[in-house]
Structure 1
């Protein structure tokens, strides 16, 4: 067997190709969608305010109407959301999609420089921003030439005063509902949703600055249905299902990240769960939310699992009401799995795997497993076809190692305006994941290493080339190589090997001067990059960066050197979403 598919007993249901995402979520009754009458859709964490289906429908229409009237937002315009999780986040997404426009979700931790790159790349016409990030947006918008009157605040109930002259979503919804409908809802012809973009989500790919990934409506809808089929959602006969309407899930994973956007937000709502929307992760507050809202379903990343296993606030806390947990975005070691089983005694626990380029899930642990296979990223979900390409280009059989290449109905369309990167990753409908894997006879995926150069810090992608290019702009740096070291909490951390410019070589021989140089070089990164890209692994001076005859950095040589020096030579098996 050289091509692997899902071993699920249930066939992949029909995937409509003429619906937008809000039509699929709010207007269409798919056979996989459970009945959820009188079930809360969203709950605001701090206040406990519940939001049901009719309010969501009304707010989506009101906001779409206001966006059309005030700014003539229409088909193929791009709208940026620069905000932590918020109960109006899905409203902003679905109102934009209703008009045929495109959402580009941005990391609210970005610096102005990083946001400018995204705004310029996507040619954003409007920005939704949380009040806490307004200063960054005002700076970035000016440089990206987005007018200030096209900046809209997401209402912050803890800071209810809106700056003078700044529009806000709450008032726009009221404005739109008070006026006649001025927009024509975007409706697709047969097959059109496979081409019409819903999201421009950003991924680091293999190198350089983050790249926009073109994700059509059909890809998101397909992945929702694939996961629903995998977990027997709404099925009465095909096997166990861990989801029931009225169950309560956390929405602490950031919605700007593909894992939070598709699996946490869209799939969980589709499956009938009430999402408790948590704007910002603080472990003790989060723990209080789990208990207060009687959370039944947790979607987490490894740093949160580490805290659940080791934080002193866990002492005496009863989490027996939790019945399902999935971990993605970064590695989860077997040792952590064993520890979290004790913390969550009644929960099924396992991992998932996916990428922005595949519009999320490729594999997830199956419903019949109480505890997912240790080290496994789960089994292939229905509709996914996978190949293992060995170093010599041949296809690997079960148990053999090579790069994972996948296809299926949820694949993204490529990197817009970047033909070379698209050609390298997207090949005739197949996506090169850049991950070295082994797949067994049961279609379980074991991720062993990365073929591509990116690594992940707390689940966020870091491209070494981006940091190296930035380091080379510092006058003291003659050459640089960034690698990752392993960390129990963050998974991986960036460490920079630096060849110093000859003008400061002598200073490095003095201990205090060398420390000042390291601090200054690290600050050069922290001043302009989002926090997870900071050089938390340190700065090491080196005489020369090892390279092959063609000049390519021998990154693995320095990575192995760094990990050996810290006693973490062997990377844990990895699973990511």
Structure 2
């Protein structure tokens, strides 16, 4: 097998002279369904307020005008959005794009230290924050040298002098237009940056993935083409997306899955997006029932709850007709359990990554359930290779690293030439994931070749945690590995070689001293890193194993941790669910 080419071609034309808001708000594309009845584009989950296309367009214009008036935001200026989902999150994104700027979305769980790094790495000129995220936003802005006047909140905050998005929209729509939105030159959309989305790397802190406008357009068109959303010849019950569809936006918009698949793709095909500010499981169940949600996009921890939480039986989930899982592999066993909870639902998995601007594969549309354990079929326009360690290409059923070519591929990592060369090679993206394909061209994700740990779909770089742990006086050397967890997929565990003083204290103080040292080391991470990066345990070792060149033998320790986990001898101090 040389290459696996996706079926279903040819792919419809992908405009390379449009920005994202021009594509979503102003243009029509043959892959986009024509809605015969008016329906809301966005609904606020908490209030029920509905936004139609005209209102979203007007709000986008008003905010863009105000951003130009107040701060002269323009070509290639970076604006950071920090906070949970908000109905005006897409408005903020599109307003900045109307001005030629770039958006970088930040995790609302970030500490001030983590947000400061993102602001500095992207040279952000403005920070738009959710009111609940304002204290951290102000702290990070001060650290990064961003004036407090350049911190904006989505909604008014009592007794605060900070400008809010609602007031800016009103101001912008009252004033004469001060910006000229330009049309991109043919081909410019392939290079014009839309997003700087952060992806963790094995060498330390997260890297800014450069995503052009063209990549988002391409992925939306690929998914629309694959799911045959314009084909009205099928019986209604066989149409994956149909008039009146509603999806629940549980997943965060700062994450590529929520940003491209949940938000932009669904708006492109005419599905109403119900925006959830923050995921709470029982609230999700209530929202499904209240809004008659038809489409769910989830990650494995949410599905664990769907399968096991006792509250599920108290809600009517019969409206759900399609559920797609992504961000991390879903086991065949959990998939089988899910089919019992939602027996009339189409269920499957997709696969993608930030570097491919989300989806490379999607659940098959010709059957109710995808093959258990499969990540679906390649989207039209994608080509894949499975590379074996010796450089040869694997045959069907053989394992190796997934290398993929896609029209939605990112341009590389900002200001990181070596990492770009390692991942982006002659139009191909090295995913770092070990996979195999079956005879039906379905992809199966086996393991990660990269050292990244995926916690609830979020990437955690072991090197980032190791670098931080080495600043603790009790830590002489350390290796962080991921261990399996039913709820989170993986969780980080640290193997620590204690300092001489710490080792002596542990030896003389016995079990109590060991537990105290373990708790202090875990707190050192918890005090400085966002929740999903917190350690679930610490194992003390005499020495961290390394190869002759000094490289950590991480796979050896990962296997050791799995064996200890099975034997029940790991010093786990908290469960993944308790860390939420």
TM-score by length of 2: 0.95
**What does residue 147 of structure 2 align with?**
147
Give the drift of 1:237.
Answer: 5.0
**What does residue 83 of structure 1 align with?**
83
**What does residue 187 of structure 1 align with?**
183
SS in 2 for 1:209: strand
SS in 1 for 2:395: coil
Give the drift of 1:564.
Answer: 0.8
User: Residues 568 and 219 from structure 1, CA distance in 2 versus in 1: closer, same or farther, beyond 3 angstroms?
Assistant: farther
The CA distance in 2 between the partners of 1:526 and 1:297, in whole Å, is: 35
Query: Matches of residues 292-331 of structure 1 in structure 2 within 5 Å?
Result: 292-331=290-329
SS in 1 for 2:490: strand
Aligned with 2:212 (options 216, 220, 224):
216
**What does residue 450 of structure 2 align with?**
452
Per-residue CA deviation, residues 498-533 of structure 1 (Å, 9 max, x unaligned), is 000001212222111111100000000000000000
Give the drift of 1:441.
Answer: 2.6
Give the root-mean-square deviation of aligned CA atoms.
1.3
SS in 2 for 1:235: coil
Give the drift of 1:165.
Answer: 1.8
1:264 aligns with 2:272: no
Higher relative contact order at CA 8 Å, sep ≥6: structure 1 or structure 2?
Answer: 1
Please say if residues 128 and 151 of structure 2, whose CA atoms lie closer than 8 Å, have aligned partners that are also in contact: yes
Query: Matches of residues 34-53 of structure 1 in structure 2 within 5 Å?
Result: 34-36=33-35, 37-53=37-53
The CA distance in 2 between the partners of 1:14 and 1:78, in whole Å, is: 29
Aligned with 1:165 (options 161, 166, 172):
161
1:554 aligns with 2:553: yes
Please say if residues 35 and 245 of structure 1, whose CA atoms lie closer than 8 Å, have aligned partners that are also in contact: no
The CA distance in 2 between the partners of 1:125 and 1:244, in whole Å, is: 41
Give the drift of 1:83.
Answer: 1.3
The CA distance in 1 between the partners of 2:425 and 2:387, in whole Å, is: 13
Give the drift of 1:410.
Answer: 0.4
SS in 2 for 1:370: coil
The CA distance in 1 between the partners of 2:303 and 2:257, in whole Å, is: 16
SS in 1 for 2:480: strand
The CA distance in 2 between the partners of 1:98 and 1:441, in whole Å, is: 45
Give the drift of 1:568.
Answer: 8.5
Query: Matches of residues 373-392 of structure 1 in structure 2 within 5 Å?
Result: 373-392=371-390
Give the drift of 1:306.
Answer: 0.6
**What does residue 574 of structure 2 align with?**
none
Query: Matches of residues 180-259 of structure 1 in structure 2 within 5 Å?
Result: 180-237=176-233, 240-259=238-257
The CA distance in 2 between the partners of 1:556 and 1:238, in whole Å, is: 49
Query: Matches of residues 120-135 of structure 1 in structure 2 within 5 Å?
Result: 120-135=120-135
The CA distance in 1 between the partners of 2:133 and 2:143, in whole Å, is: 16
Q: What are structure 1's unaligned runs of at least 5 residues?
A: 570-577
**What does residue 117 of structure 2 align with?**
117
TM-score by length of 1: 0.96
Please say if residues 232 and 238 of structure 1, whose CA atoms lie closer than 8 Å, have aligned partners that are also in contact: no
Give the drift of 1:234.
Answer: 1.1
Stretch of structure 1 that moved more, 541-550 or 232-241: 232-241
**What does residue 404 of structure 1 align with?**
402
Per-residue CA deviation, residues 144-178 of structure 1 (Å, 9 max, x unaligned), is 111111111011xxxx5444320000000000000
Aligned with 1:494 (options 492, 495, 504):
492
Give the drift of 1:319.
Answer: 1.4
Kindly tell me the number of residue pairs found equivalent between the two proteins.
563
Give the drift of 1:183.
Answer: 0.3
1:22 aligns with 2:21: yes
